[in-house]
Structure 1
Amino acid sequence: MNPAPMHRRRFHATALGLLLASPAMAARPSAVPVAGKSKTFVLVHGAWYGGWCWDAVAQTLRAQGHWVSTPTCPGLGEQAHLLSKDISLTTFVTSIANHIRYENLKDVVLVGSGFAGVVISGVADKIPHLLKNLVFVDAMVLDSGLSVFEAQPAAITRKRLEQAEREGKGIAIPAPPVNSYGVLDKQTIAWLSERLTPQPLGTYQEKLVLNQPLGNGVPRIYLDCIASPFEPLVEVKKGLKRQGGWKWVEINTHHNPMITEPQLLADHLGRLDA
């Protein structure tokens, strides 16, 4: 297999030696899938991660014949040197929307994990015509006019604000301990420990403002990771289940399946449709 071509705007990071792409990926210089059942995926990372966290999932999806991009939001991952007090939720939404525009993508299956559920909601409000599906992987979903700090339990918000003030210089939330991510082998723990970076505080403080109803007409799929509860999302999920307009899929994984069960997550994503 040949090394995957590295597009200067695709922001692929190296992780666990996953540097090989499938022949299907190497043979496709355009962003348009060549097979009838292949899809165009943009995978958006959650808090403290970067595009690197999707490496194993992306490799599997490419081997299945899909086109995959894994951008990193400003201030995180390989862009950690850009961390500043000016980074906000709007910064992340604009970054992902521009990534899709400038890569000339269309019919995008836009996937957001954890915090990135808020990001992909904002992206759909801006560029629904370029999207095919929204997939929320155990993700935060906000009503317009709310911030993450307002939506999650107050005790968690207080803890995050205290951590940001004490350890994050008032501009970033330190990454949680690696042992909170579930049962992981030593190699994965070391891999995570080297790559997790503080989350820009403004992304949790800024309210999500939507001009259209959530999803803006793009079909919405929620992948509910049921292996263990994730406290910030318990009440959020209860509220979503009372709403209409969702395709709800339960998946027997922990909150960060791209880390703990990447093969299972990739298989689910590959099979999903509206």
Structure 2
Amino acid sequence: MGRHSRAMATILLIHGAWHGGWCWDALAEALQARGHRVLCPDLPDAPGTGLMDAAATLPHAPVILGHSMGGMLAEVMAQSRPPRLLIHLCSYLPLPGDSLAALDRLLPAPARHWPRDVQGRLILPPEAAQNLFYHDVPAPNAAAALTRLRPQPPGPLRDPLPSLRRAPVRRHYILCGTDRALPIALQRAMLARAPVEHWHETPWGHSPFLSDPQGLAAVLDRIIGTENPS
């Protein structure tokens, strides 16, 4: 079967705050080359969008990957439409009742305050995005990404995961050791209180889908091959 894993899967990739489905383009191509089907929808960015509103727009898939804020949405989906496999990529890892904002407070850190547009959505300044998201991304890729960032509705950052029991699905967590947006200490703190079946530590920053899409695709392919979720 060459480079293909023994298990081919349909994978839903859920992007993080300020991003869109475009951020997955290189990773999607690498996963498709390995035989997988990949879904990369845009989350809604209307001002009043909440966590549940955003989750309601997403299609079901047997494998769900959430990146950063996308981990909140992945866990919402796991409660209502459980996948066979849920993968967190340097993402928020909530228990029922947790919000993204509450998870940010697990470790002492200066509060981040972002400007807002006239509709109340959060605007991430380019210099902050470069430092937090793209410090290890090749300069041309980082420059292109900066031009595509969108305003972020505050709802998904503020709303808690519904207070139901934790969905009984198989979970993997990919830690990114040089992440500046979700520092490795915060990733470990979330794993300590919300354990997953398997975790994988890597040297990447916050955006491995831009800094090393082939390497990330290989990690995901190995996970899927082990779990055989198709």
Correspondence 1:194-273 to 2 at 5 A = 194-213=147-166, 216-231=167-182, 234-241=185-192, 243-272=194-223, 273=226
Call closer, same or farther: CA 1:223–1:212 in 2, change over 3 Å.
same
- 2:176–2:184 contact (8 Å) kept in structure 1: no
- Letter matched to residue 97 of structure 2: G
- What does residue 53 of structure 2 align with? 91
Correspondence 1:96-245 to 2 at 5 A = 96=58, 99-100=59-60, 105=61, 108-128=62-82, 131-153=83-105, 158-160=111-113, 163-164=114-115, 167-169=116-118, 171-176=120-125, 177=127, 178-180=129-131, 181-213=134-166, 216-231=167-182, 234-241=185-192, 243-245=194-196
- Letter matched to residue 89 of structure 1: L
Instruction: Report sequence identity in percent.
Output: 27
- Letter matched to residue 175 of structure 1: L
Q: Secondary structure at the match of 2:41?
A: coil
TM-score normalised by L of structure 1: 0.72
Distance across 2 between alignment mates of 1:254 and 1:206: 26
Whether 1:49 aligns to 2:11 is: no
Q: Secondary structure at the match of 1:60?
A: helix
Distance across 2 between alignment mates of 1:44 and 1:231: 17
Q: Secondary structure at the match of 1:173?
A: coil
- RCO higher in structure (CA 8 A, sep ≥6): 2
- 2:90–2:187 contact (8 Å) kept in structure 1: no
How far residue 183 of structure 1 moved from its aligned partner, in angstroms, is 3.0
- Letter matched to residue 49 of structure 1: H
How far residue 184 of structure 1 moved from its aligned partner, in angstroms, is 3.2
- What does residue 24 of structure 1 align with? none
Q: Secondary structure at the match of 2:147?
A: helix
RMSD in angstroms over aligned alpha carbons? 2.2
- Letter matched to residue 110 of structure 1: I
How far residue 170 of structure 1 moved from its aligned partner, in angstroms, is 6.0
Equivalent residue pairs, number? 215
Call closer, same or farther: CA 1:138–1:231 in 2, change over 3 Å.
closer
Q: 2:34 aligns with which of 56, 64, 68?
A: 64
Call closer, same or farther: CA 1:179–1:110 in 2, change over 3 Å.
same
Task: Structure 1: give runs of 5+ residues left out of the alignment.
Answer: 1-34, 76-82
Task: Structure 2: give runs of 5+ residues left out of the alignment.
Answer: none
How far residue 49 of structure 1 moved from its aligned partner, in angstroms, is 0.6
How far residue 234 of structure 1 moved from its aligned partner, in angstroms, is 2.7
Call closer, same or farther: CA 1:123–1:179 in 2, change over 3 Å.
same
